[in-house]
Chains A and B, each alone.
Chain A
Amino acid sequence: METLAFSVDELLTVTAARELAGKNVVFAGIGLPTLAVSLAQETTAPNIEVIYESGVCGAHPSALPATIADSVLITDSEAVLNLASLFGYVLQGGRIDVGFLGAAQIDKFGNLNSSVIGEWGTPSKRLPGSGGAHEVLANAKETFVIMRRHSERSFVEKVDFVTSAAPDMARAAGSRSKAKGVTRVFTQFGVLAREDVGQELQLTGIHAGIDVDTVIKSTGWNLKVHPDLEVIANPSAEELELLRTEIDPTGMYLRS
């Protein structure tokens, strides 16, 4: 078989798209999550309705959006909601199957930090903060996280600040949340996964050519490897063709 050349971003996008099989309502950020949803719509999950934090539901953009509020997302979309409806009815009302998030730090239960590096009051680096991330993790049925740089600095035993709490911690503190929290983490090395609250994120999939020890060494907690660890199939010619010619033809997000 011919070996295809592809970038890390293409690999992450394809892997995430495959995991969207059978999902219907997906809350996406800009960049790779948007591309993964587009690819899933053409392959594994044709019925996905994509929802953006800005209030757009069922976007059909004429060009790739630069932000979650890009004007191309509004024109030709199926619905535009105000924020009280989006956060109140759609998110808190539990309508989202999968939410996509990123973070500066993640721990083994999927607590996410997007607020600060260091102490909150005297941070060495101030990050943007929650935005809607806290509500996505608390309310989406499950959350997928894309972390382009899997390292000990981002995969940590304890996050510097819990911006978005894993439902494990939320329930222990009194929440009635039925969310599963982070169930998939896509990195340049592979996939960390868990199926429900109370479980640790384990290494369940590894990209071809990656050494398991590298992943373990790049993780700040004692990462467990799933007994059925699978080698993730490389992006297919068809998947790459869709990404390169239809979904991101100008290479806006998938620069190789």
Chain B
Amino acid sequence: MVNPNLRKSKVMGLKEAISKYVFDGATVSIEGFTHAIPTAAGHEIIRQGFKDLTLVRMTADIIVDQMLAANCISTLVSSFVGNSSAGSLGEIRRRIEDSNPTHLEFKEYSHYGMVCRYLAGAQKLPFYPLKSYFGSDLPTINDEIRKVTSPYPNEDGTFDEIYVVPPVNPDVTIVHAQRADQWGNIQMWGLTGLQAEAVFAAEHSIVTVEEIVSDDLVRSDPNRTIIPSHAVSAVVEVPFGAHPSFTQGYYDRDNDFYRDWSAISGDKELLEKWLAKWIYETTDHSQYVEMMGEATRDRLKVGDAFSTPINYGSRIQ
């Protein structure tokens, strides 16, 4: 038996976790494929004013627009720069189309290119091959997408070329999940995206969760743990930490907010006011959630749909 008095808890506050693992110039991955986007952590990075980040995120959406507007990001690595199906991201578009107020360095990939970068990163491989990119213009604008020759001959003795992408090894990866125990065993269900790969690729990782639960609850369903404790640097309890995205079984996506973001981000003054009210002038995420108001929280409530318990079995003898 592990003595719980000796094992070190990984539970931390969000301020402490962000200030401990994020630094100016860091490569930061924020993942969550529409589901469970760690918005609260992104907001805390903005509050603490980190600069010159290389932000790695497959779907650069509202949180990236906000961090860009707050001048946290100098380089973006991404495969989709859109506000889902709900409209535009004003800040990203201003920076890319008009270099307004400054130019954004953009490393553009396709989704599977990004997945392969994380797969290489998690396994500490020098590169990862994929069948994509032949005939596309993407390799012409992104010199990190390169070709190698397969060492294995075809039947006719010729050798194929294949595109490869480099590993990404973030200084810190940040993801959000439903629940974890105090040791940082992360349990997630619904869309699990590539959160595990992104965490394993990183030097450090911060995982925000809706709730910290008991060891017994986690261990009653170990297959539900998608990231084990050893890969996690800090686990932080942040209810509603993914708003305006959703957390399956906890609250739904705030589609109104996604739609509203087009107008907010399209107007620099409105965007600055939004950042001030919701981030700079709040002390932490609990205040943001308080300001959301009961009506919004009620609107995002979800009904129950429980899974049937499974039987792991136990040794009788």
Q: Which of B109-151 contact A (CB under 8 A)?
A: 109-112, 115, 119, 130-138, 141
Known: A80-B192, A82-B194, A83-B193. A174 touches B35 (CB 8 A): no
Q: Which residues of B contact A123 (CB under 8 A)?
A: 96-97
Q: How large is the interface on B (under 10, 10 to 19, 20 to 34, 35 or more residues)?
A: 35 or more
Interface centre among B82, B109, B138, B189 (most CB of A within 10 A): B138
Q: Are B135 and A131 in touch, CB under 8 angstroms?
A: no
Interchain CA distance A124-B96 in the complex, whole Å: 9
The answer to the question of B215 belonging to the interface, with a C-beta cut-off of 8 Å to chain A, is no
Q: Are A128 and B80 in touch, CB under 8 angstroms?
A: yes
**B160, chain A: closest CB distance, angstroms:** 6
Interchain CA distance A23-B191 in the complex, whole Å: 26
- Among B15-23, B44-52, B248-256, the stretch that binds chain A is B248-256
Q: Are B33 and A129 in touch, CB under 8 angstroms?
A: no
**B98, chain A: closest CB distance, angstroms:** 9
Q: Are A162 and B110 in touch, CB under 8 angstroms?
A: no
Q: Are B252 and A84 in touch, CB under 8 angstroms?
A: no
Q: Which residues of B contact A163 (CB under 8 A)?
A: 110, 136-138
The answer to the question of A139 belonging to the interface, with a C-beta cut-off of 8 Å to chain B, is yes
Q: Which residues of B contact A229 (CB under 8 A)?
A: none
Q: Are B135 and A166 in touch, CB under 8 angstroms?
A: yes
Q: Are A128 and B81 in touch, CB under 8 angstroms?
A: yes
Interchain CA distance A177-B163 in the complex, whole Å: 13
Q: Are B135 and A172 in touch, CB under 8 angstroms?
A: yes
Q: Which residues of A contact B191 (CB under 8 A)?
A: 54-56, 69, 74, 80
| A residues contacting the other copy or chain, number (CB 8 A) | 60
Q: Total A-B residue pairs with C-beta atoms closer than 8 Å?
A: 163
The answer to the question of A182 belonging to the interface, with a C-beta cut-off of 8 Å to chain B, is no
Known: A80-B190, A83-B193, A84-B119. A66 touches B133 (CB 8 A): no
Interchain CA distance A131-B111 in the complex, whole Å: 5
Q: Are B34 and A69 in touch, CB under 8 angstroms?
A: yes
Q: Are B134 and A165 in touch, CB under 8 angstroms?
A: yes
Q: Are A91 and B112 in touch, CB under 8 angstroms?
A: yes
Q: Which residues of B contact A120 (CB under 8 A)?
A: 137, 141
Q: Which residues of A contact B35 (CB under 8 A)?
A: 54, 69, 71
Q: Are B136 and A165 in touch, CB under 8 angstroms?
A: yes
Q: Are B97 and A124 in touch, CB under 8 angstroms?
A: yes
Interchain CA distance A163-B137 in the complex, whole Å: 6
Q: Are A84 and B108 in touch, CB under 8 angstroms?
A: no
Closest to B246 in A: A71
Known: A54-B33, A82-B196, A129-B81. A175 touches B130 (CB 8 A): no
Known: A129-B80, A130-B80, A171-B134. A88 touches B112 (CB 8 A): yes
The answer to the question of B292 belonging to the interface, with a C-beta cut-off of 8 Å to chain A, is no
- Known pairs A71-B253, A163-B137 / 11 extra A-B pairs, C-beta < 8 Å: A83-B58, A88-B115, A111-B135, A123-B96, A128-B82, A129-B78, A133-B110, A134-B111, A165-B134, A173-B135, A176-B131
Closest 4 CB pairs of A and B: A165-B135, A128-B82, A69-B34, A169-B135
